[in-house]
Each structure stands twice: as structure tokens, then as C-alpha cells.
Amino acid sequence: MNEVTTTPAVLILLGPPGAGKGTQARLLEERFGLIQLSTGDLLRAAVAAGTPAGRAAKSVMEAGGLVSDDTVLAILADRMAGADVRAGVILDGFPRTAGQAEALDGLLARTGQKVGAAISLEVDDEAMVGRVAGRFTCATCGEGYHDTGKPTARAGTCDKCGGTAFKRRADDNAETARARLQAYHAQTAPLIAHYRTLGVLESVDAMGAIGDIADALGTIVARQTG
Ligand code: ADP
């Protein structure tokens, strides 16, 4: 019997902390109906829930280091088993090491899938520390702000939903941001060459306006989702 099978798109966003991976992944999720899969978000949820994985990850995350491949892979494999990911996924913050990239290729091969595109967001390092150190979000609707780059129009009130409570990530300070940048260059940037070799690397200038970057990414993703 002939069954119609579709291969869901698997897209990776690569880039240092502050490059805008999360912002762009959410926009792509809305536009293309893909699922954003952020290992940072999954780990923060595990920390908040106090699971064994979360307890192992907490101090490493606060220091700006990378959580062990085993911990991250267990969390990711769990999430990849969800039925909703059949729509296709945008991996935001994963893989971050050569071991994770290999494990991902193995995980996908089991279901006949492959990475469709790994998109590198190209940014200036120095600007990243400033971006990360000043960012905060509305606790109600999640709208993102920045102390100097994008303050709320009225102090203490979210422009989008009127909420008055805001959140800052524990690791969004200048010192930890520098450690995260170092980890990125030492362990994650080498993956750019890995995906170039596989013929799936795309690069996008990510220093411009959010909307322009979203357009550039959209063009690449449209090719993947047909
Ligand atoms: P950013 O990309 O802005 O640094 P994330 O939310 O992606 O933020 O990650 C926050 C922290 O979570 C990282 O500094 C690291 O400690 C941990 N983390 C997230 N994803 C991974 C991963 N794939 N491997 C190891 N550690 C990770």
C-alpha cells in the first residue's frame, strides 16, 4: 500500500548568545508552523522543576559553561519524541558541540531524516555582550526588551500587553555573557565547518533590523518547507 510520507524539515540556528536565535526561531515558528526547540528553554524548565537534569545543569548554566552532552541529549531526545515535532523543527541552541552534532545526525538517521539547513547568524562579538547584559522580558506575554536598545515606552509597563512584571535570566550579565561567548567560539563555532562539509550551511548577516533578518531567514526556510 502506498502511504504518503513527508519528511519534516530540520533546521538549525547557529550563533553566539545574543545573536537573536530565539527571536528569529519564534518568528519562523509563527510563519511556517514549525516547532521551535530551544535546549536553553528546556534546561531552564528542568532547573525550575528541580528535576535531576535541572539540578545537574543549574550551576553550569549560571557560570556560562555548557551542560554535559548526556544531559542535553536526554532532554532533547525526549522532546523530539513529541508528536508535534512532525511539523518540522527549528533547533535553537542545539547542537552546541561536535558530540551533539553527531548524536543529532544519528537520531535523525533512524527515521530517515537529515538536517535540511544549518543557518549561521553572523554578528559582532562585542555587540553581543551589551545585548545580552541589558535584555529582559515581560513576565506576562514574553515580549523582549533591552535597557537601552529597546526600553518600554512607559517605565515599568509592557508596550504589548500592559503587564507590569518583568524577568531577567540569571545568566544575562556581562561576566557570564563573556564566558558564554568563549564557550561558543571554543565548542560551537567549529560546527559551522561541519555543516559546510555536509553542504547544508547558510549564513545570514544578523546585525540589521529584526524584520530584515527574518526575511532573509524566511527565504532559506521556504526552500526547505516547500
Ligand atoms: P544563549 O544562546 O543566549 O546563550 P540559551 O538559552 O540557548 O542562551 O542557553 C543558556 C545556557 O543553557 C547555556 O549557556 C548553557 O549553559 C545551556 N545550554 C543550552 N543549550 C545547550 C546545549 N545544547 N549544550 C550544552 N549546554 C546548553
98-117 pLDDT tens trace? 999 999 999 999 888 899 99
**What are the pLDDT digits (tens) for 170-194?**
999 999 999 999 999 999 999 999 9
Residue nearest atom 6 of ligand 1, based on CA coordinates: 40
- Please tell me if the CB atom of residue 184 comes closer than 6 angstroms to any atom of ligand 1: no
Q: How many CB atoms lie within 10 A of CB 107?
A: 15
Residue 55 a catalytic site member: no
Residue 135 a catalytic site member: yes
Burial class (CB in 10 A: 0-12, 13-18, 19+), 127: middle
In the set 21, 58, 79, 131, the catalytic residue is 21
CA of 83 to the centre of ligand 1 (A): 24
CA of 40 to the centre of ligand 1 (A): 5
List the pLDDT tens digit at each of the 226 positions of the chain. 444 445 789 999 999 999 999 999 999 999 999 999 999 999 999 999 999 999 999 999 999 999 999 999 999 999 988 889 888 999 999 999 999 999 999 999 988 889 999 999 999 988 999 999 999 999 999 999 999 989 999 999 999 999 999 999 999 999 999 999 999 999 999 999 999 999 999 999 999 999 999 999 999 999 988 7
Sheet with 144-146, strands from edge to edge, namely 144-146, 135-138, 166-167
CA distance 210 to 224: 21
- Please tell me if the CB atom of residue 88 comes closer than 6 angstroms to any atom of ligand 1: no
- Please tell me if the CB atom of residue 16 comes closer than 6 angstroms to any atom of ligand 1: no
- Please tell me if the CB atom of residue 104 comes closer than 6 angstroms to any atom of ligand 1: no
pTM of the model: 0.91
Residue nearest atom 5 of ligand 1, based on CA coordinates: 40
According to DSSP, residue 186 is labeled I
CA 130 to each of CA 30, 149, 175, 208: distance values in angstroms, whole numbers, following the listed order: 28, 9, 11, 16
**pLDDT (0 to 100) of residue 6:** 59
Residue 21 a catalytic site member: yes
CA distance 86 to 74: 19
Tell me the Ramachandran region of residue 64: left when phi exceeds 0, alpha when psi lies from -120 to 50, beta otherwise. Answer: left
Residue 180 a catalytic site member: yes
Alpha helix stretches (DSSP H) within the chain: 21-32, 39-49, 52-63, 69-80, 98-109, 125-133, 174-183, 191-197, 210-225
